[in-house]
Structure 1
Amino acid sequence: MRGIFRKTFRVFWWVGLRVAIVGALALAVGVAYYSARLPPAEELLDGRDEGSVTLIDANGDVFAWRGQQMGLIRADEVSPHLVNAIVATEDRRFYWHFGVDLRGTLRALLVNLRAGTSVQGGSSITQQVAKLLYFDNNRTLERKIKEIPAALALELKFSKNEILSIYLNRAYLGAGATGFEAAAQRYFGKSAAEVNPAEAAMLAGLLRAPSKFAPTNNLDRSQRRAEVIVGLMEEQGYLTARQAAEARAHPAVLSRAAAARAGGEFADWVMSSGPDFLTRSTTEDVEVLTTFDPRVQRAAEAGLRHVFENKVKEGSNAQAAVVVLSRDGAVRAMIGGRDLGGSDGEFNRATQARRQTGSLFKTFVFAAALQAGANPFDPVLDAPLTLNVPGSGPWSPQNYSREYLGQITLADALAKSINTATVRVSEATGRARVRAVAEDLGVTSPIADGPALALGTSEATLLEMTGAYAGILNGGVRALPHGMREIRLKSDGGQLMAGDGAAPRRVLDERAAGQLTWMMTQVIERGTGTRASLGERPAAGKTGTTQAARDAWFIGFTGDYVTGVWMGYDDNTPLRGVTGGGLPAEIWRETMLRIEDGMPTRPLPMIVPTPPVARQPGPNPVEVVQNVGDAVESVFKSVLGGLFGRN
């Protein structure tokens, strides 16, 4: 037996020695290979393939982040609590091993088995840095073997602080945050140099599963994970019992901006509307100064929520969108839809959904008539009407009420949203002129050619229509919607691009704009929009309801803001018992009451018209601006306007 044992031992020794020699040579070659590929440590700190975008609201506060967030930091610059939390969690022997901690790997396995979950990592911090630099996230035996020479190469070339600095900047920590500086800013609104033990523990806890433990996804789960990290820090002597108790009693919480998660749809819209190389594909860390107002956003959200909680049947799947602009077109708030718990959260109904505008478009008909010289007290006939449409045959518009009032004024026709009278005004003014006014005010979607254009058969987005109405509040000067004030470098504040607001351009003269505003006040005072009344505060607006009530709108303004509301179903299911003067008007009212709360009353820029001198009756006393010369002039001015700009 002794002879057999000796022979067996010699065989294993002979084989083992040669295997060890070959393994050592392979390891040396691997270490040399990875060492040759390592640049200076400073060049390894930033490992992103794109930059970050920090969005700042009108008050100068951060409200959203996009891109791969990062702020370069070094191990000796961050809070000692953060370094201790990372070492205690990921690699307690980091400062003593040579890159691979076999003892620590076995210990982590036992700790995780005892806890029943992943509490400590098996790979050393150096191995994790090697993975970040050279390998993907596939957990294979081959990758784990390759990590060893890569980790040894890192230990040979860099100091422990340099290795830790690379790790601090390259680790992904959820919510688009790459690096601990970005994560500290993202979740707590402070630098990684300022985090306390509870915050440090929460950040370190993200390393195991960033998406799962991100506090923006589930704060309670993130706090429970942080409590485990606090225990490890106490156990390893990084925290006293008193410090640990304090951290448990006062767990980390999100900053106000992170907790509010406000302006998400606004942020996405600004990102999509800005130049790609400075926003979605930026290679720099930039800041975008925006027009977003969180106070106005909260007011809009509260107004919408109030109506759906108190006026809408529970369980309704009806959607709604809200946009609030200043008179110059600066977008202050945006709600792209209600959160119904589905998978459609990325669809922004305020900017992406093109819906029939219905009676909202009538405002442009009367704007064109006033611009052509009409008076709000001019007469127009509300009676059955049939027009012959080339290629389609006879077309007979009908009123919503199926009743006819006979001879009425233009102001009455708009206030009561009379279809037949509006079509008569459109035909008399000229469709080309109506289309030109709508386009000049900011409607960019295609507009129909036939006489039905007066009744809003064309489609447009809520943002387009609200922006066009802002031009009316702006005294007839176009106010295109915009949300960006400036793009600048985050590092030194150097301006990269100025804001995207359009140059002022007059569309309606002051008389036409002022009288149109007065006509729109009549909509709220005695017309289809009475449910939008703000009491003593003057307001103007227009209701809109499309065929079969598939869309219901209300857009109106005070002296400060113009707000647009749309309501409907994504699949075009008709609304039941809802018109623009109903729930949309109430949403508008509840929103505006909250926005204007505490603000001084600002008068509307309106001109109260004087009734014209009585005219001699003629064969067509109710027609407004109706002759061939006007039609020719309208087309001629529209063409010249497109070439040289309308004035």
Structure 2
Amino acid sequence: MAKSGGKGPNKRKTGARGARRVWWKVWARRIVIWGGVLGMLGVIALGTAVYFAARNMPNYSTLMNSQNGQTIVVRARDGTEIVSLGPSYGQWLHSDEIPQVMKDAMVSVEDRRYYSHFGIDPIGLARALVVALRDDERVSATSTITQQLARNIFLNSNRTYDRKAREAVLAMALEWKFSKEQILELYLNKVYFGGGAYGIDSASRKFFSHSARQLSTAEAAIIAGLVKAPSRYSPTADVDAAVSRANVVLGQMRKYGAIGAEEAASVDVSAVKLKTEAGQNSIRYFTDWALPQLDLLLPSGNFEPIEVWTTIDIGMQRAATAAIKSNAPDGAQGALVSLDRDGAILAMVGGTDYVESSYNRATEAVRQPGSAWKLFVYLAALEAGYQPDDRVVDGPVTIGDWSPHNSGGNYAGEIDVRTAFAYSKNTVAAQLGNEVGFSTVASMARRFGITTPISTYPSMVLGTSEVRVIDMSRAFAEVAARGNSVEPYGIIKVVTAGGDVLYEHEEPRSVQLVPDYIAAGMTDLLQTAVNTGTGKAAQIGRPVAGKTGTTSSNKDGWFVGFSSGITTAVWMGRDDARAVAGLSGGRAPARAFAAYMRYAVKDRPVEKFDTDLKLPEWQLEPDDEWLYGDPEEDYYFIDEQGNLIEPGGLGDDDRGLDFPIEGEQLPRGEPTQPARPTMPGNGNSSQGGAPPAAASDDFLERATGQDLPGRQPQRRQQNVPSPSETPFGRLFEN
């Protein structure tokens, strides 16, 4: 019993160990079996996914013709190519046209086991995993050439596991459907090399000025080295980085037997001649402004290569760039917009250096125009009845709690409107704005194309509302166009590579903004400002009309003017709106204007300005007839609200005028009023509290283009046009 009992525990222990060994073997067997089953299911699923991906994959010819974006060639008005944007594909090179050294360079540096794997590289992937686990880092890039091609054609560059999985499936599908030579041909013709160049032929032409068919070993090494980081290794951006990377490629080619050691040592990458890239500095300000308009001009869904013919004149653009660079004060920026008489943009400069700052100050920046804004003040005054020869008083003035002062702090006394404008008298502009109404001035600016918010505070007459350079050039161009609307544009036509016209500019319907005689009067004032006033520096030896503008503390300087059908606006100042010592519109901006315009108009005939104030006939009747009415017919007065009232309470000598009769002495210390009659309905009362002077029925009917209530229309049988035939009449009718 004792012996038997002594062996019992040992047997139980041995049995337990055996049971554990059996349990381990059972689970190991199960893991192997289920792992094999799951592996087979995975292989089947993968194979199925690859099969259907290959089955639904486009054919080779479709993949050849697919593009990653739209190529846009931008041309100047004479057809000169000024810039090529978007992807450039060059010529498609078939496999037998691609130099073997180019194939070897790409395979050596990007996928040395390319000819032995099935779309993904298990050996490379395993090595990357081991390195990542050992060094506690992320798995490094292991994409094969086939995977890169799949990503470029079908996917995006998001670094997600889902995208990598789809990339692997598509890569195997590509290997299933196409041969290695076909895949490499697709890859070399589609891979991105930087600078908008897709494919080796485009890259070769961009960097070396010849087809990829003639690539040397050194050139092939440079191109192959670009794939890893096109912007970092671009030979046009960093030659040293490009050479260093190309030498790495040559080392890989030697290591894997593509070239011998002797050949590798003889190749001098640094001796490769690179293509000199034409400068495209300031012209990019224009293309950045013009090309987004294609979204509106062209039908949606158009991705074929196109040529965009623009209004830019290459010579004028260079002259404009030089004028801004050479005249802008140190630390200041400059902008210029030049329009032809039909609104075509001949030159546009948005800053002193596009590479340093692509911000377009010509079309995006809003700055105070200073006295250049007085264009709208005087246009409103001329429309209200002022003429350049009318007398005004340059003296102290207070409007509410605002008391403007002239730049020099002095006053000229009684002068004419022409002189007040030429010497940019702030006090006169304030009086005119107050008389015609600040909202009227704002309305005039809006009528002439100012798109930014406009203040109606009294100080607005001195240019406190911010504007854009392109809008100011447009407003002055409309004065040059005798008061007709002008629409700036930059694109003449858009054509496909096959010559089909997708868009062609049509001249918009012109609208008369002010009568031509008002534009003539304004031109008179602008011409005087250049001849004898603040804009003398803008003289170019032929008639020029323009206006300077300077803001407080010399933060902004402007000159805007026109000559021989070309209108140009120039602005200078700092981006941070800090003061610029010595900056004023009559100095650097006016000099830049003159420097540019001398070139711009050199081939154009000299044009004299038409400044004759040819008033409509209905405004040229004898004064007493139009002021007091025809003695043979009844006439009415108008109260301050514009209502017609019966005449009465006026003596024969009380004419209701708001200016002194010739020879009459005004009391000292009282400012004189402009020597002109009050315009009907402007709200001004005559001296002595008498009601305003009556305007005859005919005058009112001609001015408003409407018949007065309660009166049968009566027109004199003389050469007087109907309201619809007069500029004012058309304005009111519209």
Higher RCO, Cα 8 Å, sep 6+: 1
How far off its partner does 1:78 sit?
6.6
> Structure 1 residue 629 and structure 2 residue 667: aligned?
no
Change in CA separation of 1:446 and 1:131 when aligned onto 2, cut-off 3 Å: closer
Question: SS at the partner of 1:267?
Answer: helix
* 1:444-593 → structure 2 map (5 Å cutoff): 444-489=451-496, 491-499=497-505, 502-534=508-540, 536-559=541-564, 561-593=566-598
**Structure 2 residues not aligned, in runs of 5+:** 1-27, 129-140, 621-660, 667-671, 684-699, 707-725
Query: Match of 1:330?
Result: 344
Aligned to 1:600: 603
Counterpart of 1:8 in structure 2 is none
By how many angstroms is 1:403 displaced?
0.8
State the partner residue of 1:352.
Answer: 364
1:251 aligns with 2:273: yes
Map of 1:321 onto structure 2: 335
Query: Pick from 78, 98, 101: which aligns with 1:59?
Result: 78
Look up the SS of the partner of 2:231 in the other structure: helix
Mark the CA change 1:277 to 1:157 in structure 2 (over 3 Å): closer, same or farther.
farther
Q: Is the 2:335–2:350 contact (alpha carbons within 8 Å) kept by the matching residues of 1? A: yes
Give the direction of change, closer, same or farther, for the CA distance of 1:569–1:262 in structure 2 (3 Å limit): closer
CA drift of 1:606 comes to 0.7
Is it true that 1:35 corresponds to 2:38 in the alignment? no
Structure 2 counterpart of 1:417, one-letter code = S
How far apart in 2 are the matches of 1:93 and 1:124?
9
Q: Report the CA distance shift for 1:328/1:486 in structure 2 as closer, same or farther (over 3 A).
A: same
Please give the TM-score of this superposition, normalised by the length of structure 1. 0.77
Contact 1:57 1:292 in 2 (8 A): yes
| Paired position in structure 1 for 2:258 | 236
> Distance between the aligned counterparts of 1:500 and 1:550, measured in 2?
39
Q: Structure 2 length normalisation: TM-score?
A: 0.68
Q: 1:35 corresponds to which letter in structure 2?
A: Y
Counting only pairs closer than 5 Å after superposition, residues 261-300 of structure 1 correspond to structure 2 as 261-276=281-296, 278=298, 283-300=303-320
**What is the distance in 2 between the residues matched to 1:42 and 1:643?**
65
Distance 1:335 1:520 in 2: 24
- In structure 2, do the counterparts of structure 1 residues 601 and 65 end up closer, same or farther at CA, with 3 Å as the change threshold? closer
Distance 1:475 1:381, change over 3 A: same
Cα separation, partners in 2 of 1:635 and 1:414, compared to 1, 3 Å:
farther
1:336-375 superposed Cα distances (whole Å, 9 cap, x missing partner): 2345987xx3432211122222211112333344455644
Alignment of 1:300-311 (within 5 A): 300-308=320-328
Tell me how far 1:136 sits from its aligned partner: 5.4
Does the 8 Å contact 1:365/1:454 carry over to 2? yes
Shift of 1:574: 3.1
Change (3 A) 1:512 1:20: same
Deviation larger for 411-420 or 582-591: 582-591
How many angstroms does 1:319 deviate by? Answer: 2.9
- Following superposition of structure 1 onto structure 2, how do residues 304-453 of structure 1 map, counting pairs within 5 Å? 304-308=324-328, 312=330, 316=331, 318-339=332-353, 345-370=357-382, 374-387=386-399, 393-428=400-435, 431=438, 434-453=441-460
Q: Aligned AA for 2:473? A: T
In structure 2, the partner of 1:111 is none
1:6 alignment partner in structure 2: none
Identity in percent: 32
What is the CA deviation profile of residues 125-146 of structure 1, one whole-angstrom value per residue up to 9, with x for unaligned ones?
2232234356654678998787
What residue in structure 1 maps to residue 175 of structure 2? 155
Per the alignment, in what secondary structure is the counterpart of residue 64 of structure 1? strand
Letter matched to residue 358 of structure 1: G
Distance 1:595 1:87, change over 3 A: farther
8 Å CA contact 2:206–2:275 kept in 1: the answer is: no
Q: Does the C-alpha gap of structure 1 residues 413 and 145 become closer, same or farther in structure 2, counting only changes over 3 Å?
A: closer
Shift of 1:255: 3.8
1:642 and 1:204 mapped to 2: Cα distance? 68
- 1:233: Cα distance to partner? 7.7
Query: 1:183 and 1:24, CA in 2 relative to 1: closer, same or farther beyond 3 A?
Result: farther
CA deviations 1:447-483 (Å, max 9, x no partner) are 3334433322222111100121122333433222211
RMSD between aligned residues? 4.8
Q: 1:499 to 1:493 in 2, by over 3 A?
A: same
| One-letter amino acid of the structure 1 residue matched with residue 402 of structure 2 | W
Tell me, yes or no, if the aligned pair for 1:544 and 1:552 is still in contact at 8 Å.
yes
Matched residue SS, 1:356: coil
Contact 2:72 2:307 in 1 (8 A): yes
Query: In structure 2, do the counterparts of structure 1 residues 151 and 627 end up closer, same or farther at CA, with 3 Å as the change threshold?
Result: closer
Q: Deviations over 1:253-278 (max 9, x none)?
A: 2442xx43442221111133443584
Distance 1:325 1:221, change over 3 A: farther
**For the structure 1 residues 411 and 132, does the alpha-carbon distance in structure 2 shift closer, same or farther, using more than 3 Å as the test?**
same
Q: How many residues align?
A: 605
- CA drift of 1:104 comes to 9.4
Instruction: Give distance in 2, aligned partners of 1:228 and 1:538.
Output: 65
* 173 and 511 in structure 1: CA distance in 2 versus 1, 3 angstrom threshold: same
Partners of 1:539 and 1:606 lie apart in 2 by: 9
Q: Mapping of 1:131-150 within 5 angstroms?
A: 131-133=151-153, 137=157, 150=170
Hey, what's the Cα distance between the residues in 1 that align with 2:188 and 2:732?
57
Measure the CA separation in 1 of the matches of 2:610 and 2:222: 60
Helix, strand or coil at the partner of 2:484: coil
The code of the aligned residue for 1:424 comes to Q
Deviates more, 1:455-464 or 1:363-372: 363-372
Q: What is the aligned partner in structure 1 of residue 624 from structure 2?
A: none
- SS where residue 324 of structure 1 aligns? strand
Supply the distance in 2 between the matched residues of 1:178 and 1:641 (Cα, whole angstroms).
Answer: 58
Contact in 2 for aligned 1:76/1:161 (Cα 8 Å): yes
Q: Counterpart of 1:212 in 2: which secondary structure?
A: coil
Q: For 2:556 and 2:299, how far apart are their aligned partners in 1?
A: 33
Alpha-carbon distance between aligned partners in 1 of 2:588 and 2:474, rounded to the nearest angstrom: 21
- Counterpart code for 2:275: V
SS at match of 2:498: coil
What is the alpha-carbon distance in structure 2 between the residues aligned to residue 460 and residue 48 of structure 1?
A: 42
Gaps in structure 1 of 5+ consecutive residues: 1-11, 109-120, 388-392
How has the CA–CA distance of structure 1 residues 643 and 368 changed in structure 2, closer, same or farther, with 3 Å as cutoff?
A: closer
Aligned to 1:37, what secondary structure does the other structure show? helix
Partner secondary structure for residue 629 of structure 1: coil
1:142-162 CA deviation, whole Å, 9 max, x = no partner? 987876664343222113343
Q: Deviations over 1:27-75 (max 9, x none)?
A: 5642442231131233444666754443322232333345555578353
> What are the superposed Cα offsets for residues 411-470 of structure 1, whole Å, 9 maximum, x if unpaired?
211211111222334445555654444333322223333443332222211110012112
Distance 1:146 1:507 in 2: 62
Query: Judging changes above 3 Å, is the alpha-carbon distance between structure 1 residues 548 and 236 closer, same or farther for their aligned structure 2 residues?
Result: same
**Cα distance, 1:365–1:134 mapped onto 2, change above 3 Å:** closer
CA contact (8 A) 2:281 2:355 kept: no
